[in-house]
Amino acid sequence: MTAQSASRYATGDGSPGRSARWDIARLNPPSRLWGSNGVAFGPDGRLYVAQFLAGQISAVDPATADIEVIVPMDGPVQSPDDLAFGADGSMYIADLVPGRVWRRSPQGEYTLVSDQVRVPNGITCVGDRLFVNEMKMNGRLLELFPDGRDPVVLTKGLALGNAMQLGPDGCLYYPHMVTGDVWRIPADGGTPERVAQDVHEPVAVRFDRGGVLTVLSRGEAGIVTRIDLHGSGARTVVTSGVVGLDNAAFDAENRMYVSSFASGGVTEMHPDGRTREIVPIGLDGPFGLTVDLGGTVYAADHYRVAALPRTGIRDPGEVRTHGHLQLTHSVTADDGLLHTTSQYGEVRTHDPANGTTRVRVSGLNRPTGITTAPDGRTVFAETGAGRIMALDAADTLTVLAEGIGHPVDVAFDAEGRCYVSDDELGAVFRIDDIDGEATPVTLADGLRAPQGLAVLGDELFTVETGRRTLTAICLATGECRVEAEDLPVGLPPGTTRGHPALFTHSMPGAPRSFAGLTTAPDGTLLLSANGEGTVLRLRRTHGTETAT
């Protein structure tokens, strides 16, 4: 993928789909680097980027911003989170979700080094030696041996380990993300020593070419802390504004390049916090969408809620982080508030005015689509339980319908009837009475993985992700008609492997694929083009008929 081919799906003219009835435009440019995580310079001088969410590894030329996929998403590696290079040019990969560590030879051959590391994340090489740690409570730091020898445990008790590196003193330095500490241990083993505490959300420990300890923070402010280990222990703290810092690498001229798990891309960061984008940030999804009364578009983007340009802007614009809300999967605007579902199994309400978020219910089984009913209740699909649920103002939870199979989105029409999409049964159901537990009625079936739903006039629209279309369903008859085709949703054409498991060892995995759909106040439709990382605006062209 080069700078000239930003989208994996674009047609020959670069458009994001085809339709005779709708004008289709992007609200933001396609994402070129999904969820950048571990980064390391390879023997060829390029910056290699582990993309956990995409399930691939890409090489970036910092001078040209050209990108080449090196480890494709259809290969043996499922969820690369960090990487390192050995002395012989071999790439070692921490495959977090399945708990594997891989070696990719300079010739491109894959060898499984270990499948005995739980949630492997931080990985580093010291010459021909390989070290990895575990991103879990009471995690381990181990030395692994590509020749098959048993691993050696250097220490236990890590409070979520992550990116680590050998220091000038011959010790391995690593963060405890939960406790805010940085520790070190001799590479040959010994007693761990805490070298810094009260570091803001440390996610990666790095040394620049001069041996200065540099610690990245994973929070919204993009904090970087430099610590003088040779003298007073004084700290220098800068705020970069790069949300969700994940990792860093220094080139031969001591320029620092950082990655962001929250928004992807690669950024050069100066010691004073100034930044320069190498690969622009983008959307990790997007998934669920909503529009407030002012026309601002919000996208549930897994690690955050993102805000996009207002719907009236024609040209693609910049995406910004509205809130660092972890594992957000769907969102709906309601009277100045944002209600969200989370892959932690929660429904939350976020108040943009004061920046507060409260959990309204937890312990749910994979909630997905969410909306507001005409009576003011928050209604959502509890996908894993096959139920449609409602929350009132007192956070009382009510079952509206159950036994649906795999419901993923909900929407209401002007008469107060509720519609539900089931992407496994290939159907859309109608619930006529939401005042009690009701039996859903099939409105349309024979669809291919319908997900996002939106009502516009006397039609219900859905995204059929199985055939990448926007489909209109007549509310009166259930008759269907394809409105747009070749939409950039789901996995790229020719890719067969699905997403990694949602959870592993009690840790969150990759997000479930979900293409959201919503209406804007100006009568347009907004669609989650999660295959290329954009939000699409569809405006009906003049003289087109409706479904009958």
Helix H, strand E, coil C: the string for 81-135 is: EEEEECCCCCEEEEECCCCEEEEECCCCCEEEEECCCCCEEEEEEECCEEEEEEC
- Tell me what pLDDT residue 86 has: 97
Burial of 13 (0-12, 13-18, 19+ CB in 10 A): exposed
The DSSP secondary-structure symbol of 150 reads P
Total-model pTM: 0.91
Q: How far apart are CA 333 and CA 337, in angstroms?
A: 6
Q: How far apart are CA 510 and CA 520, in angstroms?
A: 29
Query: Coil, strand, or helix at residue 278?
Result: strand
- Tell me what pLDDT residue 511 has: 73
Burial of 384 (0-12, 13-18, 19+ CB in 10 A): middle
Task: Output the CA angle 134-136-139, nearest 5 degrees.
Answer: 55
- Tell me what pLDDT residue 317 has: 59
pLDDT by position in tens, the chain (length 548):
433 346 666 555 678 999 999 999 999 989 999 889 999 999 999 999 999 988 899 999 999 999 999 999 888 999 999 999 999 999 999 999 889 999 999 999 999 999 999 999 999 999 999 999 999 999 999 999 999 899 999 999 999 999 999 999 999 999 999 999 999 999 999 999 999 999 999 999 999 999 999 999 998 889 999 998 876 778 999 999 898 899 999 999 999 999 999 889 999 999 888 999 999 988 988 999 999 988 889 999 988 899 887 655 555 556 777 766 778 899 999 999 999 999 889 999 999 888 889 999 999 999 999 999 999 999 999 999 999 999 999 999 999 999 999 999 999 999 999 999 999 999 999 998 777 667 899 999 999 999 999 999 999 999 999 999 999 999 999 999 999 999 999 876 666 665 454 454 445 566 788 999 999 988 999 999 999 999 999 999 965 544 43
Q: What is the torsional sign of CA 520, 524, 525, 527?
A: negative
Cβ atoms 430, 422 nearer than 8 A: no
Half-sphere exposure of 534 (CA within 13 A, CB side): 25
Q: What is the residue whose two structure tokens read 């008929």?
A: 545
Listed residue (204, 244, 238) closest to 325, CA to CA? 244
In the chain, the domains with their CATH numbers are 22-279 (2.130.10.10), 289-490+510-540 (2.120.10.30)
